[in-house]
Amino acid sequence: MEKYNIYLNDFSSINKLINSYSSIFLLLDQNTEKYCLPILQKYLDVKSINLIKINSGEENKNIDTCCHIWKQLSELKADRKSLMINLGGGVIGDMGGFCASTFKRGIDFINIPTTLLSQVDASIGGKLGIDFDNLKNQIGLFNDPKAIFISNEFFKTLDSRQILSGYAEIIKHGLILDSDYWQLIKKTDLSNMNNLDTLMDLVKRSVELKHQVVLQDPLEKNIRKSLNFGHTIGHAIETFSLMNDTVPLLHGESIAIGLICESYLSYVSNNLSKNELNEITNFINSIYKKYNLQEINYNKIIDLMSNDKKNEDNNINFTCINKIGSFVINQNFSNHEIIDSLHYYNSF
């Protein structure tokens, strides 16, 4: 894994970086083309950029879309000295990085995350991949970008639902790594997200926390597993919703549910106090809409968890917290305990 720079509200280095390549390809979807490309173009001083367009949404994060991207790269004569710029959210970053890393055995890429979620989570750490057979991120690899450019100008392109989706990962960072940060998160007024500096301060701290963890454990053998808190149940609920709901849950909305359920499991394992469980549950429920998690679907959700890539020795693998700001990895629970955690979420 290589070291790379993360630029916060600073595009001053982008032209020098990208002009060293033989050709430049920009991956985007219809939303980022309309709302985010004009922002980026203000800073670019290059002769030619080839646009590769894909459809937005998690449902398009699959091998068929990759084939479209690879075909476009081939038809546009990309070579091994070409560069891919991923302009968009987590789907664009994950899939664009994956396609770049596998095209002609790998071309360089940079990430320009445009959603709050991708800025604090998906763009950092070199996890790349696609969904396969209705399972999230089943096919992929680790490979770092050459740089990441994060700008608060993109916040203006997001609606409140997208802001909340990213906020779930910010909450997670406080819960697993920094109790003082958790207190700051709780005090942040989400109704005043027009204050771009306030939101950028949270992004900066989340980026610092995640980057510190990734540098210590780039291939997720040990402490990087801490970042999976809320994601074992959250990913399963996200996949279930994608398969069954007319308007599927966003990633962060699913992770918010997972954070409550896995905080309950942390309490069950005698790590987390009842007071802190209540504190976490009440805060998350105060800002996220309730999801209709029907009991009849509990076993389907557990089946989805059984295929989670984090599992080991046929055990569903969880990260829990001992207390707010402190984590414990490689925890296992019975199906009965997992169902109890879903009941707990539904009890409010």
Kindly state whether residues 23 and 168 are assigned to the same domain: no
Q: Is pLDDT at 193 greater than 60 in this prediction? A: no
CATH number for position 137? 3.40.50.1970
Nearest to 148 by CA among 222, 104, 207: 207
Q: Is 209 exposed, middle or buried (0-12, 13-18, 19+ CB in 10 A)?
A: buried
Q: Are residues 338 and 207 in the same domain?
A: yes
| Termini Cα distance of the chain | 44
**Final residue before a domain boundary, out of 136, 157, 178:** 157
**280 and 224 assigned to the same domain:** yes
Other C-beta atoms closer than 10 Å to the C-beta of 187 total 7
Q: In terms of domains, do 212 and 101 share one?
A: no
- Tell me: do 95 and 209 sit in the same domain: no
Q: Which two tokens stand for residue 252?
A: 């962060």
Q: What is the pLDDT of residue 197?
A: 77
DSSP code for 272: S
The answer to whether residues 124 and 165 belong to one domain is: no
- pLDDT at residue 1 above 70? no
Going 191 to 87 to 206 to 221, the CA torsion angle's sign is positive
Task: Count Cβ atoms below 10 Å from residue 161 Cβ, excluding itself.
Answer: 11
Name the DSSP letter for residue 6: E
Q: 3-state class of 322 per DSSP?
A: strand
Domain count for the chain? 2
State the Cα–Cα distance between residues 246 and 323, nearest whole angstrom: 37
Distances (CA, A) of 280 to 27, 132, 166, 193, 325: 38, 33, 17, 22, 12
pLDDT > 70: what percent of the chain? Answer: 97
Polymer length in residues for the chain: 348
Domain boundary, last residue among 157, 185, 208? 157
Q: How far apart are CA 236 and CA 238, in angstroms?
A: 5
Q: Do 90 and 118 touch, CB atoms closer than 8 A?
A: yes
DSSP state for residue 290 in the 8-state scheme: P
Domain that holds residue 203: 160-346
pLDDT in tens, 274-312: 999 999 999 999 999 999 999 999 999 999 998 776 766
Residues 40 and 64 in one domain: yes
Looking from the CA of 37 toward its CB, the CA atoms found within 13 Å total 15
Query: Same domain for 138 and 181?
Result: no
Q: pLDDT category, 144, cuts 50, 70, 90?
A: very high
DSSP 219-249: TSSSGGGGGGTTHHHHHHHHHHHHHH-SSPP
pTM, two decimal places: 0.92
Cβ atoms of 7 and 13 closer than 8 Å: yes
Could you tell me the pLDDT band of residue 271, with boundaries at 50, 70 and 90?
confident
What digits encode the pLDDT tens for the residues 67-102?
A: 999 999 999 999 999 999 999 999 999 999 999 999
Distance from C-alpha of 97 to C-alpha of 91, rounded to nearest angstrom: 10
Mean pLDDT of 32-46: 95
pLDDT at position 285, please? 97
Residues 334 and 266: their CA atoms lie apart, in Å, by 13
Examine the domain organization and report whether 259 and 287 are in the same domain.
Answer: yes
Whether 122 and 182 share a structural domain: no
* CATH code for the domain of 194: 1.20.1090.10
pLDDT surpasses 80 at 2:
no
* Distance, CA of 119 to CA of 208 (rounded, Å): 11
Buried/exposed 57-96: b ≥16 CB within 10 Å, e otherwise: ebebbbeebbebbbebbeeeebeeebbbbbbbbbbbbbbb
**Binning pLDDT at 50, 70 and 90, where does residue 141 land?**
very high
Say yes or no: 322 and 209 in one domain: yes
Dihedral of CA 77/82/85/90: which sign?
positive
Among the candidates 110, 128, 157, a domain finishes at 157
Asked if residues 328 and 321 have their Cβ atoms less than 8 Å apart, the reply is yes
The residues pairing with 111 across neighbouring beta strands, listed in sequence order, are 86, 148
Q: Round to whole Å and give the CA distance between 78 and 233.
A: 40
- Which pLDDT score is estimated for 313? 63
Residue 151 binned pLDDT confidence (cut-offs 50, 70, 90): very high
Whether 36 and 177 map to the same domain: the answer is: no
